[in-house]
Amino acid sequence: MEKGSSWKTFLLSLAATTFSIVLTFGTTAIIDRKKQNAEKREMVMMIMYDMRESLKEVGQCDADLKEFFDIQLDVVAHPEKFNSSYYALATKVPLAQYSSTTETIFRSNIETIQTIGNILFVEAVSSFYDAREQYNTLVVKDFQNQSDQTFLDYNVLRDFNTPGFIFFSEAFLHAMKVDFENCKQLMKVSDEELEVFSEQKEKLMKSTRSKLMEDTNGTSTSKVERNARLQQAREEGDKKLKNQ
C-alpha cells in the first residue's frame, strides 16, 4: 500500500513538474510570438508609410510635369511670352525629395525579410522601390538635364518632348499605386492605421526637430560667446604689445 502511495506521489510530482515546464516554455513562446508579431507589424507600417509618402512625392512630380506642359503650350503658341516665362517654367521642373533610408534598410537586411515572412509582400515592395528608382532616373533626372535649354531658347522649348515624360510618369505612378494597394491588402493595413502611424511619426519628427533647433541655438550662442572672448583676448594682447 505504501509502495502504491509512493508511486502515485511520484506520478503527481512528475505531472506537476511537466506541467510547470510546459507552462513556462509555452508562456515564453507566446510572449516571443507576440513580440515577433509586434516587430513585424511595426516594420510593415514603416514600409507602408514610406511607400505612401513616396507616392505623394511622385504624384507632385507628375502634377508639376503637367503644369509645365500647360505653360509650354501657352508660351509656344504665344512666343512673345517666352522672355517672361522663365520663373513659371523653372518652378515646375520636378524634384524628388523622398528619403531612401527605409528602402536601404529593407534591401540590405535579410532579417527584415525573415521578420515579415510574406514573400508576396516583399516582392511587391521590391517592385515599388524599383519603379521609384526608375522614376527618379528616367523622369526626374532626365527631365532636369534635358530641360535646361528650354528656359534659354524658344526653339528648344517648342521642340521639347514633355508629353513623353508625362507618359512615363503616369506609367510609373500607376505601377507604384498598384504595388501599394497590393501591399495594403496582403498585410491587411487600412488607411486609418496608416494615418495613425503617420501622426505618431510626425509627432516624433517634430519633437526631434525641436530638440535639434534647441541644440543648434545653444551651439550658435556658444559660438558667439567664444568669438567675443577671442576678440577680447586679441584686444588685450594688442594693448600689451603696444605698451612693450
> For residues 95 and 143, is the Cβ–Cβ distance under 8 A?
no
Read off the C-alpha cell for 64: 508639376
Grid-cell match 532579417, residue found? 111
pLDDT at 3: 55
The 3-class SS string of the chain reads CHHHHHHHHHHHHHHHHHHHHHHHHHHHHHHHHHHHHHHHHHHHHHHHHHHHHHHHHHHHHHHHHHHHHHHHHHHHHCHHHHHHCHHHHHCCCCCCCCCCHHHHHHHHCHHHHHHHCCHHHHHHHHHHHHHHHHHHHHHHHHHHHHCHHHHCCHHHHHHCCHHHHHHHHHHHHHHHHHHHHHHHHHCCCCHHHHHHHHHHHHHHHHHHHHHHHHHHHHHHHHHHHHHHHHHHHHHHHHHHHHHC
pLDDT at 222: 77
Quick one: pLDDT band at residue 30, thresholds 50, 70, 90?
A: very low
The fraction of the chain above a pLDDT of 90, given in percent, is 48
In this structure, the number of other CB atoms found within 10 A of the CB of residue 221 comes to: 10
Question: CA 143 to CA 90: how far, in whole Å?
Answer: 12
State pTM to two decimals. 0.69
pLDDT at 205: 63
* Most confident segment among 7-16, 18-27, 144-153: 144-153
Residue 233: CA count within 13 A, CB half-sphere: 6
Give just the sign of the alpha carbon dihedral 140, 144, 150, 155. negative
Whether pLDDT at 4 is above 70: no
Q: Which residue has the higher pLDDT, 196 or 217?
A: 196
Q: Where are the domains of the chain?
A: 40-189, 190-244
> For residues 163 and 69, is the Cβ–Cβ distance under 8 A?
yes
Quick one: pLDDT band at residue 13, thresholds 50, 70, 90?
A: confident
pLDDT at 220: 65
Q: Which residue has the higher pLDDT, 10 or 174?
A: 174
Whether pLDDT at 224 is above 60: yes
* Most confident segment among 35-49, 52-66, 101-115, 202-216: 52-66
In this structure, the number of other CB atoms found within 10 A of the CB of residue 189 comes to: 20
Whether pLDDT at 43 is above 90: no
Question: Given its phi and psi angles, is residue 33 left (phi above 0), alpha (psi -120 to 50 degrees) or beta?
Answer: alpha
pLDDT at 29: 42
Q: Mean pLDDT in the chain?
A: 83
Question: CA 178 to CA 176: how far, in whole Å?
Answer: 5
